[in-house]
């Protein structure tokens, strides 16, 4: 066997092992829970409507800093919730763009919406989780639901999340939203970035076997208030740039039952509108570097590089070499390498079909997103090597 054939055989074996890891992670998805649907209740907190028992109440916490361009849809969606929503606490981190005035106007129309001021940021804390901690401390509902300012809740979201949590006996549960991206480049990249999460953690609707593999989505994340207080409140994750995952894993370690469900019917999120913003900002929250043990970071990096980044380049390279008549391209190691990468590519296409409902609009950019996989996987792996310093322009104190 030549040196080239040995190298090809080694790569084929490594990718076959990676394929086995990916399939193992995806297998629980056969029994994943279905998407959660909104539930609108008439007089949700009326004892007559609930057989003599009060329905659970939800306090929504929205961290906001200079969100004037995005928060309108969020406030409109919150106002459309039924009485399950007890209050919506918008925690402002010193906005100077009119965010406060927009929230004030919404509060005049719906007294459940209240503006809170974020206290000074302590040393070592990150702005977003510190704002959430402020809102969670002030919340009085049985459940605390964190919603991002760029998210638009659909009517019945509050009822839907609580019913799903109680039906599955969750103390905390995140919901994967439907993602809106105005620009074609953003849709192309975002679909590929989402797939990096599927390769690493499996599909939404399945439960992690280990606390260190729990994943969460802070765009729509629900907590039983008592469980949150049992781990010291949201402050316990306020030094992390991946605070949603950090708090979920802390809860899991403490014995809480934590889940991740498909919320594409509950909430829409306007993600970064352009490819440039998507490329620059989103991977910093996808790497989970500051909440993931090194051994898992290394395995995830290998899975992304061998399982997501390489299949298309390998198949293209072999095709070019065969077209040029390069000797040895018909040898068994090359045939094995091609077979493994074809299976990986087919799996990727199937994952695209499986995640399609989570994106709108889709169009050609979404369906061509496998072409972005090499760059997206490399970008996420690259961010694992550097610790983030800011979140949406807000630096750690």
Contact 141, 81 (CB under 8 A): no
Q: Tell me which H or E stretch contains 204.
A: none
CATH of the domain at 249: 3.90.550.10
Range of the domain at 369: 1-397
Contact 384, 284 (CB under 8 A): no
* Longest Cα separation, the chain: 80
φ/ψ region of 53 (left if φ > 0, alpha if ψ in -120 to 50, else beta) reads beta
β-sheet bridge partners, residue 180: 270
Contact 140, 86 (CB under 8 A): yes
Q: Rounded to whole angstroms, what are the CA distances from 365 to 49, 196, 380?
A: 47, 17, 20
Instruction: Find, among 226, 221, 279, the residue nearest to 245 by Cα.
Output: 221
Residues 6+ apart with CB under 8 A from 302: 18
Residue 18 and residue 348: Cα distance in Å, rounded?
Answer: 13
Angle at Cα 267 formed by Cα 238 and Cα 263, nearest 5°? 85
- Residue 255's CB is within 10 A of a number of other CB atoms, namely 11
Half-sphere exposure of 24 (CA within 13 A, CB side): 8
State the burial class of residue 68 (Cβ atoms within 10 Å of its Cβ: 0-12, 13-18, 19+). Answer: middle
Instruction: Give me the tens of pLDDT residue by residue for the chain, a chain 397 residues long.
Output: 678 788 999 999 999 999 999 999 999 888 889 999 999 876 544 444 444 566 789 999 999 999 999 999 999 999 999 999 999 999 999 999 999 999 999 999 999 999 999 999 888 888 899 999 999 999 999 999 999 999 999 999 999 999 999 999 999 999 999 999 889 999 999 999 999 999 999 888 788 778 888 999 999 999 999 999 999 999 999 988 889 999 999 999 999 999 999 999 999 998 888 999 999 888 777 778 778 888 888 999 999 999 999 999 999 999 998 888 887 778 889 999 999 999 999 999 999 999 999 999 999 999 999 999 999 999 999 988 766 555 444 444 4
Residue 238 and residue 246: Cα distance in Å, rounded?
Answer: 9
- Contacts of 275-282 spanning 24+ positions with Cβ under 8 A: 275/183, 275/185, 275/186, 275/188, 275/189, 276/185, 277/186, 278/181, 278/185, 278/186, 278/189, 278/190, 278/193, 279/189, 279/379, 281/392, 282/189, 282/190, 282/193
β-sheet bridge partners, residue 88: 60, 113
Q: Tell me which H or E stretch contains 318.
A: helix 311-323
- E-only strand ranges, 76-224: 85-92, 113-117, 143-147, 151-153, 172-176, 178-180, 220-224
pLDDT value for 388: 56
Helix axes 3-26, 184-201, angle to 10 degrees: 80
Altogether, the residues listed in the chain come to a count of 397
pLDDT value for 53: 60
State the burial class of residue 268 (Cβ atoms within 10 Å of its Cβ: 0-12, 13-18, 19+). Answer: buried
Residue 384 and residue 56: Cα distance in Å, rounded?
Answer: 40
pLDDT value for 397: 41
Instruction: Find, among 154, 129, 259, 164, the residue nearest to 202 by Cα.
Output: 259
Residue bearing tokens 């090359």: 334
β-sheet bridge partners, residue 173: 222, 259
Residue 179 and residue 197: Cα distance in Å, rounded?
Answer: 15
Residue 252 and residue 256: Cα distance in Å, rounded?
Answer: 5
Number of domains in the chain: 1
Q: Rounded to whole angstroms, what are the CA distances from 167 to 160, 315, 336?
A: 11, 46, 46
Q: Looking at 139-224, list the stretches that DSSP marks H as alpha helix, in order from N- to C-terminal side.
A: 157-167, 184-201
């Amino acid at each position: 066997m030549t040196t080239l054939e040995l190298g090809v055989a080694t790569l084929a074996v490594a990718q076959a092992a990676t394929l086995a890891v990916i399939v193992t992670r995806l297998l629980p998805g056969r029994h994943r829970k279905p998407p959660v649907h909104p539930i609108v209740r008439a007089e949700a907190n009326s004892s007559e409507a609930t057989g003599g028992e009060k329905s659970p109440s939800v306090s929504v916490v929205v961290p906001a800093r200079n969100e004037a361009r995005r928060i309108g849809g969020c406030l409109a969606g919150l106002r459309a919730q039924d009485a399950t929503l007890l209050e919506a606490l918008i925690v402002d981190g010193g906005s100077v763009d009119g965010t406060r005035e927009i929230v004030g106007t919404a509060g005049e129309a719906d007294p459940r919406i209240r503006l809170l001021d974020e206290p000074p940021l302590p040393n070592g804390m990150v702005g977003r989780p510190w704002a959430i901690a402020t809102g969670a401390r002030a919340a009085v509902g049985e459940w605390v639901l964190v919603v991002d300012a760029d998210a638009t809740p659909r009517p019945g979201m509050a009822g839907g999340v609580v019913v799903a949590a109680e039906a599955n006996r969750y103390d905390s549960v995140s919901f994967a939203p439907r993602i809106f991206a105005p620009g074609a480049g953003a849709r192309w990249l975002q679909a590929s970035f989402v797939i990096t999460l599927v390769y690493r953690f499996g599909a939404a609707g399945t439960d992690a076997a280990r606390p260190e593999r729990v994943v969460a989505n802070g765009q729509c994340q629900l907590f039983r208030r008592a469980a949150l207080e049992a781990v010291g409140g949201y402050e316990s994750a306020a030094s992390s740039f991946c605070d949603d995952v950090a708090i979920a894993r802390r809860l899991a370690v403490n014995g809480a039952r934590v889940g991740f469900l498909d919320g594409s019917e509950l909430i829409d999120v306007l993600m970064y509108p352009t490819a440039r913003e998507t490329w620059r900002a989103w991977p910093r929250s996808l790497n989970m570097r500051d909440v993931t043990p090194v051994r898992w970071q290394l395995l995830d990096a290998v899975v992304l590089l061998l399982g997501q980044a390489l299949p298309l380049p390998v198949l293209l390279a072999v095709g070019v070499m065969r077209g040029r008549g390069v000797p040895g391209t018909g040898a068994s190691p090359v045939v094995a390498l091609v077979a493994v990468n074809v299976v990986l590519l087919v799996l990727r296409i199937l994952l695209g079909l499986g995640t399609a409902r989570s994106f709108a609009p889709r169009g050609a950019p979404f369906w061509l997103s496998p072409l972005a996989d090499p760059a997206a996987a490399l970008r996420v792996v690259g961010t694992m090597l550097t610790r983030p310093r800011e979140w949406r322009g807000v630096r750690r104190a």
